[in-house]
Amino acid sequence: MVEERALRFAPVLLVLSIGIHLRVLGNPADWQMIDLKVYWSLAPNLLTDQLYSISMPFTADFPLPFTYPPFGALVVLPLSALPWVAAKIVWQVLSLACLWWLVRTALKLVAARLEQPFDVTWSRRALLWTALFVWAEPVRKTLDFGQVNLPLVAGVFAAVVATRQSVAGLGVGVGAGLKLTPAISALYFLATRRFAAAAWSVAGFAVTVALGFLASPADSWRYWFELLGAADRVGPVGSVINQSLRGALSRSLGHDVEMSWPWLLAVAVSAVLTALALRAAVRASDTLAAVVVVQLFGLLISPISWSHHWLWLLPLVLWLVYDRRSPVLAVVWVVAIGSDLITVLIDLQPSIWEIPRPWPLAALGWLYPALALLTLAVVPRLLRDRAPSLRTN
Protein backbone atom coordinates (compact mmCIF):
# COMPACT_ATOMS: atom_id res chain seq x y z
CA MET A 1 0.00 0.00 0.00
CA VAL A 2 1.35 3.40 -1.01
CA GLU A 3 0.33 5.07 2.23
CA GLU A 4 2.05 2.45 4.37
CA ARG A 5 5.34 3.05 2.55
CA ALA A 6 4.93 6.83 2.80
CA LEU A 7 4.17 6.64 6.53
CA ARG A 8 7.57 5.08 7.19
CA PHE A 9 9.21 8.23 5.91
CA ALA A 10 6.58 10.74 7.15
CA PRO A 11 8.95 12.66 9.46
CA VAL A 12 11.56 12.91 6.70
CA LEU A 13 8.95 13.99 4.16
CA LEU A 14 7.72 16.71 6.51
CA VAL A 15 11.22 18.05 7.08
CA LEU A 16 11.87 17.92 3.33
CA SER A 17 8.59 19.69 2.52
CA ILE A 18 9.22 22.49 5.01
CA GLY A 19 12.83 22.76 3.87
CA ILE A 20 11.74 23.24 0.25
CA HIS A 21 9.12 25.75 1.38
CA LEU A 22 11.74 27.79 3.23
CA ARG A 23 14.12 27.48 0.31
CA VAL A 24 11.47 28.89 -2.00
CA LEU A 25 10.88 31.78 0.40
CA GLY A 26 14.59 32.57 0.43
CA ASN A 27 16.33 34.87 2.89
CA PRO A 28 14.02 35.86 5.80
CA ALA A 29 15.02 39.48 5.23
CA ASP A 30 13.33 39.21 1.80
CA TRP A 31 10.07 37.62 3.01
CA GLN A 32 7.25 40.01 2.16
CA MET A 33 4.55 38.71 4.57
CA ILE A 34 2.56 41.84 3.87
CA ASP A 35 -0.36 41.06 6.19
CA LEU A 36 1.95 40.33 9.09
CA LYS A 37 3.62 43.68 8.44
CA VAL A 38 0.22 45.34 8.84
CA TYR A 39 -0.26 43.66 12.23
CA TRP A 40 3.33 44.30 13.30
CA SER A 41 3.53 47.94 12.22
CA LEU A 42 0.00 49.17 13.00
CA ALA A 43 -0.91 47.38 16.25
CA PRO A 44 1.09 49.84 18.41
CA ASN A 45 -1.21 52.63 17.16
CA LEU A 46 -3.78 51.24 19.59
CA LEU A 47 -1.79 52.86 22.38
CA THR A 48 -2.28 56.31 20.82
CA ASP A 49 -5.95 55.89 19.79
CA GLN A 50 -4.97 55.86 16.10
CA LEU A 51 -5.40 52.16 15.27
CA TYR A 52 -7.93 52.84 12.50
CA SER A 53 -6.63 56.25 11.46
CA ILE A 54 -3.24 55.19 10.07
CA SER A 55 -2.80 52.78 7.17
CA MET A 56 0.28 51.09 5.80
CA PRO A 57 0.94 51.95 2.13
CA PHE A 58 0.99 48.89 -0.15
CA THR A 59 0.49 50.39 -3.60
CA ALA A 60 -0.45 53.88 -4.71
CA ASP A 61 -4.17 53.03 -4.72
CA PHE A 62 -4.26 50.34 -2.03
CA PRO A 63 -3.46 51.43 1.54
CA LEU A 64 -3.71 48.57 4.03
CA PRO A 65 -5.55 49.46 7.27
CA PHE A 66 -5.84 47.43 10.45
CA THR A 67 -9.17 45.64 9.98
CA TYR A 68 -9.52 43.50 13.12
CA PRO A 69 -11.13 44.44 16.45
CA PRO A 70 -8.97 46.31 19.00
CA PHE A 71 -8.44 43.07 20.92
CA GLY A 72 -6.61 41.72 17.86
CA ALA A 73 -4.13 44.57 18.15
CA LEU A 74 -3.64 43.80 21.83
CA VAL A 75 -2.78 40.18 21.03
CA VAL A 76 -0.27 41.21 18.35
CA LEU A 77 1.47 43.89 20.45
CA PRO A 78 4.15 41.51 21.84
CA LEU A 79 5.06 40.58 18.27
CA SER A 80 5.42 44.25 17.43
CA ALA A 81 8.15 44.50 20.06
CA LEU A 82 10.36 42.17 18.01
CA PRO A 83 12.59 43.28 15.14
CA TRP A 84 10.83 42.81 11.81
CA VAL A 85 12.95 39.85 10.65
CA ALA A 86 12.54 38.09 14.00
CA ALA A 87 8.79 38.64 13.90
CA LYS A 88 8.61 37.03 10.46
CA ILE A 89 10.57 33.97 11.57
CA VAL A 90 8.49 33.55 14.73
CA TRP A 91 5.24 33.83 12.78
CA GLN A 92 6.38 31.37 10.11
CA VAL A 93 7.34 28.77 12.71
CA LEU A 94 4.11 29.31 14.67
CA SER A 95 2.00 28.99 11.53
CA LEU A 96 3.67 25.73 10.47
CA ALA A 97 3.22 24.30 13.96
CA CYS A 98 -0.46 25.27 13.86
CA LEU A 99 -0.85 23.58 10.46
CA TRP A 100 0.31 20.33 12.05
CA TRP A 101 -2.01 20.89 15.01
CA LEU A 102 -4.97 21.52 12.69
CA VAL A 103 -4.30 18.27 10.80
CA ARG A 104 -3.75 16.35 14.02
CA THR A 105 -7.03 17.60 15.54
CA ALA A 106 -8.98 16.50 12.45
CA LEU A 107 -7.35 13.07 12.34
CA LYS A 108 -8.01 12.51 16.05
CA LEU A 109 -11.71 13.02 15.35
CA VAL A 110 -11.53 10.62 12.41
CA ALA A 111 -9.75 7.99 14.49
CA ALA A 112 -12.35 8.31 17.23
CA ARG A 113 -15.16 7.84 14.68
CA LEU A 114 -13.44 4.70 13.42
CA GLU A 115 -13.07 3.51 17.04
CA GLN A 116 -9.30 3.42 16.71
CA PRO A 117 -6.73 4.72 19.18
CA PHE A 118 -4.69 7.68 18.02
CA ASP A 119 -1.47 5.67 17.85
CA VAL A 120 1.84 5.97 16.03
CA THR A 121 0.20 5.29 12.66
CA TRP A 122 -2.24 8.15 13.05
CA SER A 123 0.54 10.43 14.32
CA ARG A 124 2.56 9.65 11.21
CA ARG A 125 -0.50 10.36 9.08
CA ALA A 126 -0.64 13.78 10.69
CA LEU A 127 2.99 14.39 9.74
CA LEU A 128 2.45 13.12 6.19
CA TRP A 129 -0.64 15.24 5.54
CA THR A 130 1.04 18.29 7.05
CA ALA A 131 3.88 17.81 4.57
CA LEU A 132 1.36 17.68 1.71
CA PHE A 133 -0.83 20.54 2.92
CA VAL A 134 2.13 22.93 3.07
CA TRP A 135 1.55 23.18 -0.69
CA ALA A 136 -2.23 23.68 -0.59
CA GLU A 137 -3.28 27.07 -1.94
CA PRO A 138 -4.96 28.35 1.27
CA VAL A 139 -1.87 27.38 3.26
CA ARG A 140 0.56 28.83 0.73
CA LYS A 141 -1.23 32.16 0.70
CA THR A 142 -1.41 32.23 4.50
CA LEU A 143 2.31 31.54 4.87
CA ASP A 144 3.32 33.94 2.10
CA PHE A 145 1.15 36.80 3.39
CA GLY A 146 1.91 36.12 7.05
CA GLN A 147 -1.81 35.88 7.71
CA VAL A 148 -3.32 35.04 11.11
CA ASN A 149 -5.39 32.19 9.69
CA LEU A 150 -3.42 29.13 10.76
CA PRO A 151 -3.08 30.05 14.47
CA LEU A 152 -6.70 31.23 14.51
CA VAL A 153 -8.25 28.21 12.77
CA ALA A 154 -6.12 25.69 14.68
CA GLY A 155 -7.02 27.33 17.99
CA VAL A 156 -10.73 27.66 17.25
CA PHE A 157 -10.91 24.09 15.95
CA ALA A 158 -9.29 22.71 19.09
CA ALA A 159 -11.64 24.82 21.21
CA VAL A 160 -14.84 23.86 19.37
CA VAL A 161 -14.26 20.13 19.85
CA ALA A 162 -13.09 20.41 23.47
CA THR A 163 -15.21 18.35 25.86
CA ARG A 164 -15.39 21.02 28.58
CA GLN A 165 -18.12 23.52 27.80
CA SER A 166 -16.24 26.46 29.28
CA VAL A 167 -13.05 25.73 27.31
CA ALA A 168 -14.98 25.29 24.07
CA GLY A 169 -17.01 28.45 24.52
CA LEU A 170 -14.24 30.69 25.77
CA GLY A 171 -11.96 29.55 22.95
CA VAL A 172 -14.53 30.46 20.32
CA GLY A 173 -15.36 33.75 22.06
CA VAL A 174 -11.72 34.81 22.22
CA GLY A 175 -11.25 33.77 18.58
CA ALA A 176 -14.24 35.91 17.57
CA GLY A 177 -12.80 38.80 19.56
CA LEU A 178 -9.56 38.49 17.63
CA LYS A 179 -11.23 38.21 14.23
CA LEU A 180 -15.01 38.14 13.88
CA THR A 181 -15.34 35.12 11.57
CA PRO A 182 -15.00 32.40 14.28
CA ALA A 183 -18.32 33.60 15.71
CA ILE A 184 -20.08 31.29 13.21
CA SER A 185 -18.89 28.40 15.43
CA ALA A 186 -21.68 29.25 17.87
CA LEU A 187 -24.03 27.69 15.31
CA TYR A 188 -22.33 24.36 15.98
CA PHE A 189 -22.91 24.76 19.71
CA LEU A 190 -26.60 25.48 19.14
CA ALA A 191 -27.03 22.58 16.71
CA THR A 192 -25.43 20.13 19.14
CA ARG A 193 -27.35 21.61 22.09
CA ARG A 194 -24.18 22.72 23.84
CA PHE A 195 -25.94 25.76 25.19
CA ALA A 196 -23.46 26.27 28.02
CA ALA A 197 -20.62 26.48 25.48
CA ALA A 198 -22.63 29.01 23.46
CA ALA A 199 -23.12 31.11 26.59
CA TRP A 200 -19.41 30.88 27.43
CA SER A 201 -18.56 32.02 23.89
CA VAL A 202 -20.68 35.14 24.37
CA ALA A 203 -18.94 35.78 27.68
CA GLY A 204 -15.50 35.27 26.17
CA PHE A 205 -16.31 37.62 23.31
CA ALA A 206 -17.63 40.25 25.72
CA VAL A 207 -14.37 40.10 27.68
CA THR A 208 -12.36 40.76 24.51
CA VAL A 209 -14.56 43.76 23.68
CA ALA A 210 -14.14 45.10 27.21
CA LEU A 211 -10.36 44.70 27.04
CA GLY A 212 -10.39 46.61 23.77
CA PHE A 213 -12.32 49.47 25.36
CA LEU A 214 -9.90 49.52 28.28
CA ALA A 215 -6.95 49.75 25.90
CA SER A 216 -8.48 52.39 23.64
CA PRO A 217 -12.05 53.63 24.14
CA ALA A 218 -11.82 55.84 21.04
CA ASP A 219 -10.63 53.10 18.70
CA SER A 220 -13.11 50.63 20.14
CA TRP A 221 -16.04 53.00 19.69
CA ARG A 222 -14.98 53.72 16.12
CA TYR A 223 -14.60 50.04 15.23
CA TRP A 224 -17.84 48.73 16.75
CA PHE A 225 -20.08 51.67 15.85
CA GLU A 226 -18.57 53.08 12.62
CA LEU A 227 -16.36 50.61 10.78
CA LEU A 228 -18.04 47.27 11.48
CA GLY A 229 -19.49 45.81 8.29
CA ALA A 230 -17.54 48.02 5.89
CA ALA A 231 -16.41 45.25 3.54
CA ASP A 232 -14.83 47.66 1.06
CA ARG A 233 -12.39 48.73 3.78
CA VAL A 234 -11.07 45.17 4.02
CA GLY A 235 -10.21 44.96 0.33
CA PRO A 236 -11.55 44.59 -3.21
CA VAL A 237 -14.79 42.61 -2.96
CA GLY A 238 -14.74 41.60 -6.64
CA SER A 239 -11.16 40.32 -6.80
CA VAL A 240 -10.99 36.60 -7.53
CA ILE A 241 -9.11 36.01 -4.28
CA ASN A 242 -12.43 36.74 -2.54
CA GLN A 243 -14.08 33.32 -2.71
CA SER A 244 -17.30 34.20 -0.88
CA LEU A 245 -20.75 34.09 -2.50
CA ARG A 246 -20.71 37.87 -2.69
CA GLY A 247 -17.39 37.86 -4.52
CA ALA A 248 -18.41 35.13 -6.97
CA LEU A 249 -21.81 36.70 -7.70
CA SER A 250 -20.27 40.14 -8.16
CA ARG A 251 -17.78 38.85 -10.71
CA SER A 252 -20.55 37.00 -12.56
CA LEU A 253 -22.96 39.96 -12.65
CA GLY A 254 -20.29 42.60 -13.22
CA HIS A 255 -20.92 44.73 -10.13
CA ASP A 256 -20.83 44.49 -6.35
CA VAL A 257 -24.10 42.73 -5.47
CA GLU A 258 -23.83 43.83 -1.82
CA MET A 259 -26.96 42.50 -0.01
CA SER A 260 -29.27 42.57 -3.03
CA TRP A 261 -31.66 39.78 -4.01
CA PRO A 262 -29.06 37.58 -5.84
CA TRP A 263 -26.95 37.47 -2.70
CA LEU A 264 -29.97 36.91 -0.45
CA LEU A 265 -31.12 34.04 -2.70
CA ALA A 266 -27.66 32.46 -2.67
CA VAL A 267 -27.50 32.77 1.13
CA ALA A 268 -30.96 31.18 1.43
CA VAL A 269 -29.89 28.21 -0.71
CA SER A 270 -26.69 27.88 1.34
CA ALA A 271 -28.67 28.03 4.58
CA VAL A 272 -31.02 25.24 3.46
CA LEU A 273 -28.14 23.01 2.34
CA THR A 274 -26.28 23.75 5.56
CA ALA A 275 -29.32 22.95 7.70
CA LEU A 276 -29.81 19.58 5.99
CA ALA A 277 -26.11 18.70 6.17
CA LEU A 278 -25.79 19.83 9.78
CA ARG A 279 -28.87 17.87 10.84
CA ALA A 280 -27.45 14.75 9.20
CA ALA A 281 -24.06 15.26 10.87
CA VAL A 282 -25.60 15.76 14.30
CA ARG A 283 -27.82 12.70 13.91
CA ALA A 284 -24.76 10.67 12.95
CA SER A 285 -22.82 12.08 15.92
CA ASP A 286 -20.11 13.08 13.45
CA THR A 287 -18.32 15.98 15.11
CA LEU A 288 -15.85 16.64 12.30
CA ALA A 289 -18.60 16.75 9.67
CA ALA A 290 -20.72 19.11 11.76
CA VAL A 291 -17.84 21.50 12.43
CA VAL A 292 -16.78 21.61 8.78
CA VAL A 293 -20.36 22.15 7.57
CA VAL A 294 -20.76 25.16 9.86
CA GLN A 295 -17.45 26.65 8.80
CA LEU A 296 -18.20 26.22 5.09
CA PHE A 297 -21.46 28.09 5.64
CA GLY A 298 -19.57 30.90 7.36
CA LEU A 299 -17.09 31.15 4.49
CA LEU A 300 -19.88 31.28 1.92
CA ILE A 301 -21.96 34.02 3.53
CA SER A 302 -19.12 36.26 4.72
CA PRO A 303 -18.72 39.38 2.53
CA ILE A 304 -15.01 38.68 2.27
CA SER A 305 -13.58 35.15 2.30
CA TRP A 306 -10.11 35.38 0.87
CA SER A 307 -8.88 32.09 -0.55
CA HIS A 308 -6.46 31.79 2.37
CA HIS A 309 -9.44 31.84 4.75
CA TRP A 310 -10.51 28.45 3.37
CA LEU A 311 -8.20 26.43 5.63
CA TRP A 312 -11.26 24.48 6.78
CA LEU A 313 -10.94 22.60 3.49
CA LEU A 314 -8.04 20.67 5.02
CA PRO A 315 -10.17 18.90 7.67
CA LEU A 316 -12.82 18.40 4.96
CA VAL A 317 -10.33 16.56 2.73
CA LEU A 318 -9.25 14.34 5.63
CA TRP A 319 -12.90 13.55 6.42
CA LEU A 320 -13.59 12.62 2.80
CA VAL A 321 -10.46 10.48 2.51
CA TYR A 322 -10.66 8.49 5.72
CA ASP A 323 -14.23 8.52 7.03
CA ARG A 324 -16.55 8.79 4.05
CA ARG A 325 -14.90 6.82 1.27
CA SER A 326 -15.71 9.52 -1.25
CA PRO A 327 -12.63 9.43 -3.48
CA VAL A 328 -14.10 11.47 -6.32
CA LEU A 329 -15.03 14.48 -4.19
CA ALA A 330 -11.79 14.17 -2.22
CA VAL A 331 -9.74 14.21 -5.43
CA VAL A 332 -11.71 17.19 -6.76
CA TRP A 333 -10.97 19.17 -3.60
CA VAL A 334 -7.30 18.13 -3.58
CA VAL A 335 -6.95 19.32 -7.19
CA ALA A 336 -8.80 22.55 -6.34
CA ILE A 337 -6.53 23.49 -3.44
CA GLY A 338 -3.38 22.04 -4.98
CA SER A 339 -3.62 23.48 -8.47
CA ASP A 340 -3.16 27.12 -7.43
CA LEU A 341 -5.82 28.06 -9.98
CA ILE A 342 -6.79 31.13 -7.97
CA THR A 343 -3.28 32.55 -8.27
CA VAL A 344 -3.51 32.10 -12.05
CA LEU A 345 -6.86 33.89 -12.08
CA ILE A 346 -5.41 36.72 -9.99
CA ASP A 347 -2.73 37.21 -12.64
CA LEU A 348 -5.36 37.15 -15.42
CA GLN A 349 -7.74 39.71 -13.94
CA PRO A 350 -7.18 43.27 -15.23
CA SER A 351 -7.16 44.78 -11.76
CA ILE A 352 -8.09 43.79 -8.23
CA TRP A 353 -10.59 46.67 -8.30
CA GLU A 354 -12.21 45.90 -11.66
CA ILE A 355 -15.22 43.61 -11.11
CA PRO A 356 -16.48 42.82 -14.65
CA ARG A 357 -14.50 40.16 -16.49
CA PRO A 358 -14.91 37.63 -19.34
CA TRP A 359 -17.36 34.88 -18.48
CA PRO A 360 -14.74 32.05 -18.44
CA LEU A 361 -12.81 33.89 -15.73
CA ALA A 362 -16.02 34.65 -13.84
CA ALA A 363 -17.03 30.98 -13.99
CA LEU A 364 -13.63 29.74 -12.81
CA GLY A 365 -13.84 32.28 -9.99
CA TRP A 366 -16.61 30.14 -8.45
CA LEU A 367 -14.05 27.45 -7.61
CA TYR A 368 -14.41 27.29 -3.81
CA PRO A 369 -18.04 28.51 -3.46
CA ALA A 370 -19.38 26.08 -6.09
CA LEU A 371 -17.53 23.10 -4.64
CA ALA A 372 -18.59 24.10 -1.12
CA LEU A 373 -22.25 24.19 -2.17
CA LEU A 374 -21.84 20.79 -3.87
CA THR A 375 -20.21 19.39 -0.74
CA LEU A 376 -23.01 20.64 1.52
CA ALA A 377 -25.53 19.06 -0.85
CA VAL A 378 -23.94 15.60 -0.76
CA VAL A 379 -23.02 15.47 2.94
CA PRO A 380 -26.39 13.94 3.97
CA ARG A 381 -25.99 11.13 1.44
CA LEU A 382 -22.40 10.48 2.51
CA LEU A 383 -23.53 10.26 6.12
CA ARG A 384 -26.30 7.82 5.20
CA ASP A 385 -23.91 5.65 3.20
CA ARG A 386 -21.14 5.72 5.75
CA ALA A 387 -18.44 3.28 4.71
CA PRO A 388 -15.19 3.98 6.57
CA SER A 389 -12.18 3.37 4.40
CA LEU A 390 -9.94 2.45 7.33
CA ARG A 391 -10.90 -0.13 9.90
CA THR A 392 -7.47 -1.33 10.83
CA ASN A 393 -4.11 0.27 11.06
Whether residues 168 and 216 share a domain: the answer is yes
Whether residues 376 and 237 share a domain: the answer is yes
State how far the Cα of 217 lies from the Cα of 260, in Å rounded to an integer.
34
For residue 352, the model assigns a pLDDT of 86
Where helices occur in 284-323 by DSSP H, the ranges are: 287-301, 313-322
For residue 235, the model assigns a pLDDT of 76
Count Cα neighbours of 126 within 13 Å in the Cβ-side half-sphere.
22
* H or E segment to which residue 196 belongs: helix 195-215
Whether residues 75 and 150 share a domain: the answer is yes
State how far the Cα of 385 lies from the Cα of 393, in Å rounded to an integer.
22
For residue 1, the model assigns a pLDDT of 65
> In tens digits, what is the pLDDT along the chain, a chain of 393 residues?
677 788 989 999 999 999 999 999 999 999 999 999 999 999 999 999 999 998 887 655 678 899 999 999 999 999 999 999 999 999 999 999 999 999 999 999 999 999 999 999 999 999 999 999 999 999 999 999 999 999 999 999 999 999 999 999 999 999 999 999 999 999 999 999 999 999 999 999 999 999 999 999 999 999 999 988 776 677 789 999 999 999 999 999 999 999 999 999 999 999 999 999 999 999 999 999 999 999 999 999 999 999 999 999 999 999 999 987 688 999 999 999 999 899 999 999 988 888 999 999 999 999 999 999 999 999 999 998 664 444 433
Whether residues 104 and 135 share a domain: the answer is yes
> Which residue, of 197, 228, 259, is where some domain finishes?
228
Q: What is the 8-class DSSP label of residue 169?
A: H
Any bridge partners for residue 242, and if so which?
306
> Which residue, of 185, 203, 228, is where some domain finishes?
228
> Which residue, of 192, 210, 228, is where some domain finishes?
228
State how far the Cα of 330 lies from the Cα of 312, in Å rounded to an integer.
14
Whether residues 194 and 326 share a domain: the answer is no
Burial class (CB in 10 A: 0-12, 13-18, 19+), 150: buried
Global pTM exceeds 0.85:
yes
Tell me the CA distances in angstroms from 14 to 96, 130, 134, 322, one per residue in order: 11, 7, 9, 20
Nearest 5°: CA angle at 5, between 292 and 391? 50
Q: Which sign, positive or negative, has the C-alpha torsion 174, 178, 180, 182?
A: negative
Whether residues 262 and 345 share a domain: the answer is yes
User: What does the CA dihedral 57, 60, 62, 67 come to, rounded to 10 degrees?
Assistant: 20
**For the chain, how many structural domains are there in total?**
2
Whether residues 95 and 238 share a domain: the answer is no
Segments forming the whole domain that contains residue 379? 231-393
State how far the Cα of 78 lies from the Cα of 81, in Å rounded to an integer.
5
Whether residues 274 and 210 share a domain: the answer is no
Whether residues 14 and 150 share a domain: the answer is yes
